[in-house]
Amino acid sequence: MTLSLPSTGNPFLIQISLCFGLMFLRRLAAIVPRSTSTRFFCSKDSLDLARTIAELSKEMESIFGEPPPDGLANSGNRSFMAQEPQHNSHVNLSSTSDKFTAQELHSISHNLDENAPGLTHVGSTGKAQMVDVSPKENSSRTAIATCKVLLGKKVFDLVLANQIAKGDVLSVAKIAGINGAKHTSTLIPLCHNITLAHVRVDLSLNPADFSVDIEGEAASTGKTGVEMEAMTAVSIAGLTVYDMCKAASKDIQITDIQLECKTGGKSGYWCREE
């Protein structure tokens, strides 16, 4: 890039020319990178523009004894140079991420044992699917799950005295938990709609940590387990406790939703280790 100065030795004309030149370059550096720099400028072009701005800045300083006003050259240089590396770094990070993901997937696939249990709700193409249980044999199945709701002393005392404005917290939560178990296949999209033989939900106040301990049990005879029904029962019961008590405190916590044990099916008996 070249800049033609007036042939006359008039310092005023030279100053005007240089100022207009710097203003043009600054505007070019500020606008072009945001819109079309990736299409019209390569890295060499950006370096040439930055070098030209720096040379003009030095020339103005040598003529007038001071750098360009308002840091025109520096701001234009920074504006242009700061944006193009960001674009390049984005591209590099994206490609690195893709490579890392591919390597991770390959490593996981390589390390999996052929006999290791897979994700039955994921098909061969990686898409979600509902498991076909028709080849399975019917068996008696049970599952027990637990949950804890941390109330805090203030709310705990209100529940203990049955002074919550909405009514009997534990009784309402018990019914809600049983109802939740019966609607598991509606709430969890890939769960089978099974016939439950029995649902039990028990709630008890625990003064040791001012909480409500919830235990849920589901039973059925069929081709798929009832673990989700038991866990849904305690989850809905816990949410109901929160709903009943939220006017007294927003600091209530629902924690430790987990399966404790299950029976039946191909995997047979399983129990959580203490």
Q: Smallest Cα–Cα separation from 77: which of 102, 98, 58?
A: 58
Query: What pLDDT is attached to residue 132?
Result: 81
Q: Smallest Cα–Cα separation from 48: which of 28, 65, 67?
A: 28
- The residue ranges of the chain whose pLDDT is under 50 are 34-41, 71-73, 75-77, 79-97
Q: What tens digit of pLDDT does each residue of 190-228 get?
A: 888 999 999 999 999 999 999 999 999 999 999 999 999
Q: Is the pTM of this model over 0.75?
A: no
| Annotated active-site residue in 157, 202, 213, 243 | 243
Residue-wise DSSP of 156-206: HHHHHTT--TT--HHHHHHHHHHHHHHTHHHHSTTS-----SEEEEEEEEE
Question: Residue 256 CB: number of other CB atoms within 10 A?
Answer: 15
**79 φ, ψ to 5°?**
-60, -45
Six token digits for residue 156:
């705990």
Active-site residue 243, yes or no? yes
Query: What pLDDT is attached to residue 82?
Result: 47
